[in-house]
Amino acid sequence: MGRVKVLVVEDDPSVADGIIDGLGDAAFEVHHSATGAAALSDFATFAPDIVLLDLGLPDMDGTDVCRALRKQSAVPIIVVSARGDEIDRVVSLEMGADDYVVKPFGMRELVARIRAVARRTNSAEAPVGPTERTFGSLTIDTRAQRVSLAGEDIHLTPTEFELLVYLTEDPGAVCRRSDILNDVWDTNWFGTTKTLDAHVAAIRKKLGNSGWIESVRGVGFRFGQPA
């Protein structure tokens, strides 16, 4: 397998140069886009494995870029932004981002986040045992990374898919928040548990019923089937 290809979408030249140099030293293949329009164009030609996306772009908001990319691809997207408010994190995750890093950040942290997302994506591509799980009208194909509900495809981001697969490993069993973060987000996760809540909320919304993932107060979540 070749080097992981990272598309860096950042309008600040000094920030972009630092990221490009740091990722280059970590053996990633990097391409830089300075605007949202350029990112959407470069995405098709560069075909990145991961996108690092700033929100404050000069021509369009990064959440719009995220939404546009999500319509055409499930490639992992990590938002890298100076916006540190919880609402910005939640909106970005609801638009399809897989992770959120607040500026300023350390290069080691950023590299760890990229590698963790890459590992999650690669592990989801490798089938283990039966590849299809069916729960009533819901079908999850772990090999094809497809989810369908009543015969209609449901689009999930890579992290949303991995989270749903994790919860369906043992239907009805309670999964603790700490275990979910360690196993789905990797032990290198630096964020808060609000990210987990946002991903659960996004999955519930896409499945159209919160009963698929039940909250267990003070503990975590369990997968169930709506009545």
- For position 128, what pLDDT does the model report? 44
* Domain harbouring 31, CATH code: 3.40.50.2300
Residues 119 and 176 in one domain: no
Residues 140 and 108 in one domain: no
For residues 216 and 27, give the distance between their C-alpha atoms in angstroms, rounded to a whole number: 42
> Domain containing 181: what range?
127-223
Residues 99 and 168 in one domain: no
| Number of domains observed in the structure of the chain | 2
pTM of the predicted model as reported, rounded to 2 decimal places? 0.61
- For position 111, what pLDDT does the model report? 86
127: which 2 tokens?
Answer: 């089938």
Residues 160 and 57 in one domain: no
Residues 114 and 149 in one domain: no
Residues 116 and 143 in one domain: no
Residues 132 and 120 in one domain: no
Please state, in angstroms and as integers, the Cα–Cα distance from residue 133 to each residue in 75, 136, 151, 154, following that order: 23, 10, 14, 15
Answer with the one of 73, 93, 124 that is the final residue of a domain: 124
32: which 2 tokens?
Answer: 């830089």
* Domain harbouring 184, CATH code: 1.10.10.10
Residues 97 and 135 in one domain: no
- pLDDT, tens digit only, all 227 positions of the chain: 468 899 999 999 999 999 999 999 888 999 999 999 999 999 999 999 999 999 999 999 999 999 999 888 889 999 999 888 878 888 888 888 888 888 888 888 888 888 878 777 665 444 444 578 899 999 998 877 889 999 999 998 888 888 999 899 888 889 988 888 877 876 444 555 678 888 999 999 999 999 999 999 989 999 998 87
Residues 183 and 136 in one domain: yes
Read off the amino acid at residue 125: E
Nearest to 93 by CA among 73, 117, 109, 77: 77
